[in-house]
Structure 1
């Protein structure tokens, strides 16, 4: 009994100790988080959840991963937080946002709907996020005509972002911001909450094949020991604005470690001046990500000035009489309750990144046009510029008309935490026609004919059959490409097996446009091709087109040989029946003479077919003279040569 009591007491003491340690680790983690030292906070949050996880510890761990933009782990821990407290609006909302940032759109939609139930007053914003999920799935299936490439010649396992063009001694270089190892100061562990080196500017020279062949630290003014990033140059590259953290030791308190400030330097005698503070820097808030317009009159930047729309908003300051004016918030069309970053003004458009507009997840890149003093509704740049993760720092190469440039992203497939990506416009392949062949006889559709009873192949090469496309409904189409000539061959039971020419230009576009998933950068127009079939039936007679004879002659014209060769091929491909070749004359000349002439002409056609390989036992001929005139040009009626030529014709009739 005493032994059992002693065990119970030990277990109670152990639980008390573990509980005390968990609480102590939680308090330490929360203090680190308040000090913006998220990596340290994560260490202690992990200890706090090891043995006795609390809602506060799990939620705090999820928040730290989210702030550090580790979306996969943030999703895991928000999921755990949701399982512990599924009525907490912030937990439900952030879990949905992390699912969205990881491209799990169907799951995200489910949790945005759950968020509307626990926070019905925010349903409008939840619906915006749901719409973003739906549009993201569509954009991923239908990417724009741009190729995106990770610049592994520039990127490292750390962060590289914000590619900008500059000039050095007349030579074009590119500047980016990076925190790859290289500058660790005595205050490093104190000032950097994520244990990464400080950000600095890196210059890149690209060679003739657009690859980096030289990179070096780019300094502006004094050798600053802390963060220096996001440069923006004037049109003549003699002024540069950039973002820094506070300078003095007195300002390196924990509250100021993440504060941003804008500075600029001027180049004099090919040397950059020491930093000059932007007049609207303030210890009470941050300013950063400056962008100077090419006319030097406007400076766009971000700030968390109190009274804004959300976290960081985009502002603009105008320069008048050499002085920067009080900044103006760009308003609720641009700024949201979330964060907006990296403004760039180019070719009349404001490009920026936002986490609060309809997007794919994380930060997306948008553009907006200013018309009559008002910003247009921001337009999402879609795929490939945007992804479920963070996409930002849009830059167009000058003179490229938007066809090439750079963006930055922390996509999961990237090399580092943030990577530079180059983009290039790809001229889309010309549209194709998706052809569905339908059989007709005498202008009426033949019931039961299918696309499978016709073959489309490259002209002159029956073995080179056109590619086929089957849509989601199982409908089969032949793909007809621009610049190619084709033939269509019919194989419909009860009708002649014959072929006709088909060209891209002759197809008619229907109202339905089908987007192809299996042909990158291409789409197709659906087109129905009517194919006139000739029925195989005793007594059926067909006119052989363009088989005309000169007046008073039975000699076959050279122009008629093409049609007769096609007739020979038709008879060689369709055996098992006999045909009569019929010849008809016009009304000029005596009836007797025309009967004899038509006999000679019919025999000429039959002999031509025999020479082309048709068995003579299948052939017979009959002249009809002028007994079957097709128009009013009978004896005694004046007609033109063209009208008389219509009556000089050749037919074939199935007789057995």
Structure 2
């Protein structure tokens, strides 16, 4: 079990190119038990902040945030904050050509692209019977004039239309993560999948796109719900969410290690991290042992539907 934790830190080191924060920084010195992450910046009354993605140097954080509660009745927009000498900036919107719902941003290991799930209207789908269809997109961060482009590959972005257009979360592609090797990981709910929701991998096609996605084998996927996956840049470690594999109550955070073409059994991160409420979709801050994740656990001033980001130190496995 100890090797799993060491592999996770090795994966994080691939993208840590400069020192991130001073030793006294409370973000770097994450607690063993979760606390609210930047509450003065990210937890204003009546807003919900969801799973973030960090630049390789850890100094820019992209995230989706709603403008009100409950979440299903609110706009859900892409925002960012930047680490400066005197702390983090206030959230600012990332300009997009459509005000469609955004979710699960991540930054590629080279820092060039922002990947995210976006329910934008696509002109090639004009006239089709579609409802809020989340596809996988990328935005070139090196070009201020760039506009988002859908990721390309056979059967990568399925269309949420017709009889299944309002069926659960079917055909919504979610949480794109790219590894150094160019493998794209995401999760989706597909009627021909293994379970309710599954994690997929699409290998690069050598031409800027991706090959047909492959279902990850058991024990990552199962006949139930498997989602909220984050992959380390080296592709060797996964943080993932399960609600049905035992633990601390609600949805819990687990971790697994790549082993050849398969994966080890996911290990629960423990009840210091997890709670009787829902924790999901953890992200590791580059160059640190700090994980950031959304949770429905209550906090002072929270309303019934509030979800906030929490931070904690990844526990060290005992021999």
Which deviates the most, 409-418 or 386-395? 409-418
Equivalences for residues 116-265 of structure 1 within 5 A: 146-151=32-37, 152-153=39-40, 154-156=42-44, 157-166=46-55, 172-181=59-68, 196-208=73-85, 211-219=87-95, 222-248=96-122, 256-257=131-132, 259-265=133-139
From 320, 330, 333, the counterpart of 2:216 = 330
- Shift of residue 173 of structure 1? 1.4
Kept in 1, the 8 Å contact 2:58–2:286? The answer is no
| Deviation digits for residues 118-141 of structure 1 (CA, Å, limit 9, x no counterpart) | xxxxxxxxxxxxxxxxxxxxxxxx
Question: Could you say which residue in structure 2 is the equivalent of 1:340?
Answer: 226
- Shift of residue 304 of structure 1? 1.4
Equivalences for residues 135-534 of structure 1 within 5 A: 146-151=32-37, 152-153=39-40, 154-156=42-44, 157-166=46-55, 172-181=59-68, 196-208=73-85, 211-219=87-95, 222-248=96-122, 256-257=131-132, 259-279=133-153, 280-284=156-160, 285-293=171-179, 295-322=180-207, 323-346=209-232, 348-400=236-288, 403-413=289-299, 415=302, 417-424=306-313
SS in structure 2 of the partner of residue 158 of structure 1: coil
Kept in 2, the 8 Å contact 1:204–1:215? The answer is yes
Pairs aligned (count)? 263
Q: Superposition RMSD on alpha carbons, in Å? A: 2.9
- Shift of residue 383 of structure 1? 2.2
- Shift of residue 213 of structure 1? 3.7
Kept in 2, the 8 Å contact 1:297–1:320? The answer is no
SS in structure 2 of the partner of residue 305 of structure 1: coil
Greater Rg by CA: 1
Kept in 2, the 8 Å contact 1:337–1:356? The answer is no
CA distance in 1, matches of 2:52, 2:196: 24
| Deviation digits for residues 442-477 of structure 1 (CA, Å, limit 9, x no counterpart) | xxxxxxxxxxxxxxxxxxxxxxxxxxxxxxxxxxxx
Question: Which runs of 5 or more residues in structure 2 are unaligned?
Answer: 1-30, 161-170
CA distance in 2, matches of 1:355, 1:425: 20
Alpha carbons of 1:148 and 1:195: their partners in 2 closer, same or farther (altered >3 Å)?
A: closer
Displaced runs of 4+ in structure 1, greater than 4 A? 192-195, 248-253
Alpha carbons of 1:310 and 1:195: their partners in 2 closer, same or farther (altered >3 Å)?
A: closer
Question: RCO (CA 8 Å, sep 6+): is it higher in 1 or 2?
Answer: 2
Alpha carbons of 1:229 and 1:307: their partners in 2 closer, same or farther (altered >3 Å)?
A: same
CA distance in 1, matches of 2:249, 2:53: 25
CA distance in 2, matches of 1:177, 1:426: 27
